[in-house]
Amino acid sequence: MTATLPSPRHTDLHDAPVLRWGVLAPGVIAHDWVDSVARHTSQRIVAVGSRSLERAQAFADKHGAAHAYGSYAKLVQDAEVDVIYIASPHSEHESHALLAIAAGKHVLVEKPIATSAAGAQRIADAARAAGVFAMEAMWTRYRPQSDVVRQVLEAGTLGDIRLVTADFGGLAPVDPTSRLWDPALAGGALLDLGVYPVSWASFVLGSPTGVLASGDLAPTGVDRQAAMILTHDGGAQAVLTTGLTARTPEASVIAGSEGRLEIPSPFWFADDVRLFDGTGDLVDTWHDPFGRVARESLCCEAVALARYVGEGRTESPLHSLDETIAVMATLDEARRQLG
């Protein structure tokens, strides 16, 4: 193999139409997302909505948003807002997405887009009926590293893809009232962390034809650890792990008949991609030159959405609503098998 890794495309974060964004639920991820968007793009954050006007105003003051609302309903009715970024707990994603869509707003919904495939389907159906853009905020898909991987897969450099491995596990203190451990808040490792490796496997191999899951439940009833083997057309497999009980390697390998890619930890926002040939020799390494550390690259998904809206699209060509629904169906089946 003499191949070298390609350069990512669409690296200009100021080349998209400027949309006016409203932020629904100003929590930790919303702060990081807005910081990234404000620092690296031309997108405008114009409004924020919270169940608490005081909290919304504090967020607006910190980030320079013109409008603060003490209800989500008022936020989505703001005529100066084009698109809503939904950053509420994922147990609320469906209802908040439907609220914004009903008001005629485009939506970017934090992962997972809903708590089930049925919920994701309802969001997709509503967005399609309303003619608005809807996308899950699976930021990994829109980072430069992922476009390097995408081009390698498109070129067939690795030959016949046989195996994808991906892992995301962290150590979370047990708190029955927290969103991670409370079943009423759609807690558990699979929905919070496992969506990343499942979505990554879908990116590489598409939807599986079979799902085999094994794991362990917390006393609260949510899954605290899970391993999945996904089978795909032609016999390719994905081996995926997730959990809330230990910090795990959090890396990924994509192995084919002619070579493999290694994406180091943490694979969902890694800055390196390593290409190996079929004998295991390192051929090339791509290193991210942009300097957007960790969550600073959340802005990539915002610019992608703005670009797609400017092109007249209502779904992401890199991460369609149908694929998002299929990922949720895989998670549904894994959760069912875990009980």
Domains, the chain, with CATH or none: 157-288+318-338 (3.30.360.10)
What pLDDT score does 120 carry?
Answer: 98
Give the span between the Cα atoms of 300 and 236, in whole angstroms. 30
**Intra-chain end-to-end CA distance of the chain, in Å:** 46
Crossing angle, helix 28-40 and helix 299-310, to 10 degrees?
A: 70
Give the span between the Cα atoms of 46 and 68, in whole angstroms. 9
Burial of 319 (0-12, 13-18, 19+ CB in 10 A): buried
What pLDDT score does 37 carry?
Answer: 98
pLDDT in tens, the chain (339 residues): 667 999 999 889 999 999 999 999 999 999 999 999 999 999 999 999 999 999 999 999 999 999 999 999 999 999 999 999 999 999 999 999 999 999 999 999 999 999 999 999 999 999 999 999 999 999 999 999 999 999 999 999 999 999 999 999 999 999 999 999 999 999 999 999 999 999 999 999 999 999 999 999 999 999 999 999 999 999 999 999 999 999 999 999 999 999 999 999 999 999 999 999 999 999 999 999 999 988 999 999 999 999 999 999 999 999 999 999 999 999 999 999 999
Instruction: Write the CB contacts of 92 (distance below 8 Å, at least 6 apart in sequence).
Output: 25
- Hey, which residues does 66 pair with through a beta bridge? none
Q: Is 65 helix (H, G, I), strand (E, B) or coil?
A: coil
| DSSP notation for 168-213 | EE-B----TTSTTT-GGGT-SHIIIIIHHHHHHHHHHH-S-SEEEE
What pLDDT score does 1 carry?
Answer: 66
Q: Which is it for strands 106-110 and 83-86: parallel, antiparallel or unpaired?
A: parallel
Find the helix or strand (DSSP H, E) in which 146 lies: helix 144-155
Give the span between the Cα atoms of 231 and 324, in whole angstroms. 18
Give the span between the Cα atoms of 32 and 201, in whole angstroms. 26
* Per-residue exposure over 49-80, b if at least 16 CB sit within 10 Å of its own CB, e if not: bbeeeebbbebbeebebebbbbebeebbbbee
